[in-house]
Structure formats: structure tokens, C-alpha cells
Structure 1
């Protein structure tokens, strides 16, 4: 029987976080968040893709958290 793997815990967002100072904010915000297992941002991608691994954190909450700090963030579709 084939097993279908679920990737719902990998959350992708388009942001405007594109420099090291901006990335430092993410370190302060996301590194110690209890519901985020891992995260990274690709600042070389034109969409400045933020990738978060979380099994419990809703996408909307991440978007609100990033937007609250003055950055643009939306789900990457």
C-alpha cells in the first residue's frame, strides 16, 4: 500500500524581508517560538520566501505576527 506524505506542516510565505537587519528581527521573533520547529528565509529569491515548519501554528497567526512588525507577509500559493 502506498503512503501519501502530508506536508501541511511546511508553511511558505512571500515577504519583503530582504536584508540581514530584517532577518535579525526574524531570529528574535521565531527562534524561541514554542510552536516553530525550524525556519529559514531565502533572501535571494524574488519573493523573499519564508519557510516555517510548525505542526500547530496557523498560517494566519504567522502572517499577523510578521505584519505586526512592519513587514509584508502573505501565503505563497
Structure 2
């Protein structure tokens, strides 16, 4: 069975292309982020990050610092 501990999921208010562009600026070249996506069609605007080194709290602090709501999706 595969281990998905490196996939971080968050509930956010990142809901449009302009928001996604700002997130791209935050995460696009951030060390530790292998891949990321935001599902703006989902009611929770799910942010999915693949990282082998970053933890949920680091991402939450980064996204919140830039004015967006972000919390771990459980």
C-alpha cells in the first residue's frame, strides 16, 4: 500500500483564477513544493500540495500571511 503522507490537503478560500495566480507566485518556486493544485470547483476550494519536506502548519502560515483562509482538510 502506498504512503500518501507527502500529499498535503487544505480547505481554502482560493476561488478564482486571480487567486490561483497569486498562489502560483507563492508556491511556484518554493523549495520543498514538488507539485500543487487548487480545485476551485470544489466547495472547499481544496489546495493540494505534494511535498516530502514541508508540513501543514508551514503552508497554513504562508497562505494566511498573504490574506487567504487556509486550514488542514481532515
Structure with greater Cα Rg: 1
Match of 1:33 in 2: 30
Superposed CA deviations along residues 5-37 of structure 1, whole A, max 9, x for unmatched, are: 210000000000001111111110101011000
TM-score (norm 2): 0.97
Match of 2:40 in 1: 43
For this pair of structures, how many residues does the alignment match? 74
**Alignment match of 2:55 (pick from 43, 55, 58):** 58
TM-score (norm 1): 0.93
- Unaligned residue ranges in structure 1 (runs of 5+): none
Following TM superposition, the consecutive aligned residue runs of length 4 or more in structure 1 with deviations greater than 2 angstroms are: none
- Unaligned residue ranges in structure 2 (runs of 5+): none
